[in-house]
Amino acid sequence: MTSLHDTVVLITGAGSGIGAETARQLAGRGARVVLLDRDLNAVEALVRSLDNSARHLAIQADVTNSEGLEDAVQQAVSVFGGIDVVVANAGVAEAGTVAVSRIESLVRTVDVNLSGVIRTVHATLPHVTDRRGYFLLVSSAAALKNVPGGSSYAASKAGVEAFAGALRLEVAHKGVAVGVAHPAWIRTPMYDAQRELASVSNGIASLPWPFNVVTTVEDCAAAFVDAIGERDRKIYVPKALSIVDKARSFFTGALWDRLVMLRAGRTVPALEAEIRERELTA
C-alpha cells in the first residue's frame, strides 16, 4: 500500500462518526489531516486528541455555504501548501416518507449530501489537480436499492455516485483519481438517532442481507483509509455490497418493488404514525 506519510487529507463532516474516525486512522498513518465541520469545538477537540496535533488543522465550515467553504480550503492550502486527498463525507439523514416529512428537511438532505459534495469538489479541485491527487466521495448503500422512508436521502446519494462517475472521466487525463464509497449501516450518532424510531429499527433488521449488516465505525474508516492508499474506484462497506452493485437492476426493478410492497402496506403507516407522534410531542 502507498505510504500516506505527509499526505494532506481534507475531510468534511469530520466532527463525529465516520469522518472523525477516518481522521484518527489517517493521522495514525502519518497523514496531515484538515478537519472541516460546522461544529468547530468538535474538530478542535479531535485535533487535540491526535498524536502530533500541531501537524493537523481544524476549520469551521459548512458545505452548504460556498463562500465559507472556499475560505476554509484557502486556509488549508496556506498552512500546508496544497491538498492531496479530499474525503467528501459530510451528510445528514432523517427517516420519513414524503407525505409526513417537512419539505425543508427533504431539500436540505439533498443540499447537504449532494450539493455539499459538489461544492467541496469545486472548491478543492484546482489544488487536488496540482497534486495529481484523489477524491473519495461518500455515497451510500441507499444508492443501490429502493426502499420506502428514505427517498431524498437515496436520491442525494445516487446523485453523489453519478457525479463521481462523470467527474472521474473529466479529471483522469490530469492524473486525478475518483473513488465512491457505498457504506450501509455504520454505528455512528446518525445511525443511533434513526434507530430511536421502532419502525426504523425493525426495518433494518428485516432488510435482506447484506443491507441489514451493521459495521463498526472503526472498520468503515479502515476501509476508507485503505481505499485512499490504493486510490480505489469503488469502496463497499460491507464488501458484500459489491455483489449487490453487480445485480442492482434487481434491487431497483419491478420484482423488487413487488416484494417490498408486500411489507410496505404495514411498515409505511407505522413509520408515518411514529413521525407524526414525535412531531406532536417535540
**Catalytic sites, residue numbers:** 153
Give, for 255, the enclosing helix (H) or strand (E). Answer: helix 254-281
First-to-last C-alpha distance (Å) of the chain: 49
117, three cell numbers: 459534495
Q: Please tell me the distance from the alpha carbon of residue 72 to that of residue 78, in angstroms, as a whole number.
A: 10
Give, for 123, the enclosing helix (H) or strand (E). Answer: helix 116-130
165, three cell numbers: 462517475
Q: Please tell me the distance from the alpha carbon of residue 113 to that of residue 92, in angstroms, as a whole number.
A: 7
What is the chain's alpha carbon radius of gyration, rounded to the nearest angstrom?
19
Neighbours of 45 (CB within 10 A): 13
Please enumerate in sequence order all residues whose Cβ is within 8 A of that of 122, keeping only pairs 6 or more positions apart, or say none: 66
Look at residues 189, 201, 125, 115 and name the one whose alpha carbon lies nearest to residue 155. Answer: 115
